[in-house]
Structure 1
Amino acid sequence: MALTINTNTALATLAPNGHLSEPTATVLGNPIATWSKDLYTNEAGTLTTGFWRASPGTSRWEFAEHGEVIHVLGGRMTVHQDDSEPQDLGPGDVAAFPIGWRGTWTIYETLSKFYVIYH
């Protein structure tokens, strides 16, 4: 049986995580509040899906041990991979951050996303 959840229901039940911090990311400036709800993790722990929300701010990300695919549900952000052109993301956009991706995320409006993290 497939595991399903209504996106609006999931976003309404996000739990506060406090502020974004290492090892997830390094905040560059004011604290960034985060909320999340894990939806599914496989038995091996190599795949996790869920919903995440973050307040505006800039942070540095280094996907050294895992990769992530996101679907932006709300808000706006710019992702800037080291030595590449920045890319703007907004509602409906999908982005992949493969293992080894390094760069910054600048969130302009509170961001909500669905994520898939893989190891």
Structure 2
Amino acid sequence: MSALVAFDLANPGAPKHSKPAPDRLISGDPSYRTWENAAAGQTGIRTGIWEATPGVTRSIKGGTWEFCTILSGVVLLTEDGGETRRFTAGDTFVMRPDFVGTWETVETVRKVFVAVS
């Protein structure tokens, strides 16, 4: 197995389909697709492509760091007690383990992510 993993953004393969946990859903009926490119076993590192349709959910990172680059779409992130931030294609951000707030997908969003737990 190669130690070099390429992301094929044009043809990522078959995704895993999911929905938000009921206790995290605030509004809408968002659905998710995840193309996990690499997971480093028991190290808690995951990478891939993630997509969400419009809706608002509660985002609680717990013990996870997440680095994201938005490929397409529009998302509004609001940290509890903070201002709303808008992210669109080309924007990059990190959510620290203590992030708690709302994730609002305004237009179907697709991102590349690296998550470390």
TM-score by length of 1: 0.88
Q: CA deviation at 1:43?
A: 2.9
The aligned counterpart of 1:9 is 11
The aligned counterpart of 1:20 is 20
Q: CA deviation at 1:93?
A: 0.4
The range that moved more, 80-89 or 1-10, is 1-10
Equivalent in 56, 59, 75 of residue 57 of structure 2? 59
RMSD: 1.6
> Do 2:16 and 2:35's aligned partners in 1 also have CA atoms closer than 8 Å?
no
Equivalent in 91, 101, 104 of residue 103 of structure 1? 101
TM-score by length of 2: 0.90
Fraction of identical pairs, as percent:
18
The aligned counterpart of 1:76 is 74
**Which runs of structure 1 show a deviation greater than 4 angstroms over 4 or more consecutive aligned residues?**
none
Q: Alpha-carbon deviations, 1:48-72, whole Å to 9, x = none? A: 0001111001111111121211110
Q: Alpha-carbon deviations, 1:23-66, whole Å to 9, x = none? A: xx711022211111100111323110001111001111111121
The aligned counterpart of 1:116 is 114
* Long gaps (5+) in structure 1: none
Q: Distance in 2 between matches of 1:39 and 1:46?
A: 14
Q: Distance in 1 between matches of 2:84 and 2:78?
A: 4
Aligned residues: 115
Q: What is the letter of the counterpart of residue 8 of structure 1? A: A
Q: Distance in 1 between matches of 2:40 and 2:88?
A: 29
Q: CA deviation at 1:104?
A: 0.4
